[in-house]
Amino acid sequence: MQKLKRAREEELKFLKMVPENKEKNIYIRFSQENRKTRKEKQLQKEENYEGYKEELEEKIKIIEGYDIKEAMKNQRRDWINKERAENKGEPPVSIDLFYKRFDVDKKVELNDQQKKLQEDQAKEKLKKEQDKKKGEEKGNSIQCILKIN
């Protein structure tokens, strides 16, 4: 047992989880110092991480920014060609129509949301009516039993 205790203490000392001196106050001070150094390391690594994220974002903008712009240009060109085909070769009146077409989609989504709300309200009404009918049926069945007796 003595050997195990010594081995455990030596291992803890080696891992710097326990100070080499055995005074109780030293243990507390040692743990506080450890906590402080770990917290400092944590804050420093967090700062490094945030800096790395910003650098990565800039690199992505540089690398993929051109591709995104090209894709957007191609979308506009395709839309213009489609409008020309529909309007017998005349270009669209304003490019603003290209951007407003997305607003229409949002309105449709809002309508879908409104439809869902209306459906939910209708379901709630049906449940209330069914509950009322069940309550009335229970009341009628009780009355029928009383009348028979």
- pLDDT digits over 42-87, tens only? 999 999 999 999 999 999 888 888 888 899 999 999 988 988 888 8
Residue 108 has pLDDT above 80, yes or no: no
Specify if 132 maps to a domain. yes
CB 83 within 8 A of CB 92: yes
Structure tokens at 68: 């995104």
The answer to whether residue 133 is domain-embedded is yes
Quick one: pLDDT at residue 104?
56
Structure tokens at 39: 């917290």
- Is residue 92 scored above 90 in pLDDT? no
Whether residue 22 is contained in a domain is answered as: no
What is the residue range of 101's domain?
A: 94-149
- What is the total count of domains within the chain? 1
pLDDT at 149 over 70: no
Q: Cα(first)–Cα(last) distance of the chain, in Å?
A: 86
What is the three-state SS of 46-95?
Answer: HHHHHHHHHHHHHHHHHHHHHHHHHHHHHHHHHHHHHHHHHCCCCCCCCC
Q: Does some domain include residue 1? A: no
pLDDT value at position 87? Answer: 84
Do the beta carbons of residue 13 and residue 20 sit within 8 Å? yes
Query: Which pLDDT value is given to residue 41?
Result: 96
What is the reported pLDDT for 58?
92
Contact (Cβ atoms closer than 8 angstroms) between residue 12 and residue 18 = yes
- Residue 35: inside a domain, yes or no? no
Evaluate whether residue 126 is within a structural domain: yes
Residue 135 belongs to some domain of the structure: yes
Question: Confidence class of residue 24 from pLDDT cuts 50, 70 and 90?
Answer: low
Q: What is the value of pTM for the model shown? A: 0.34
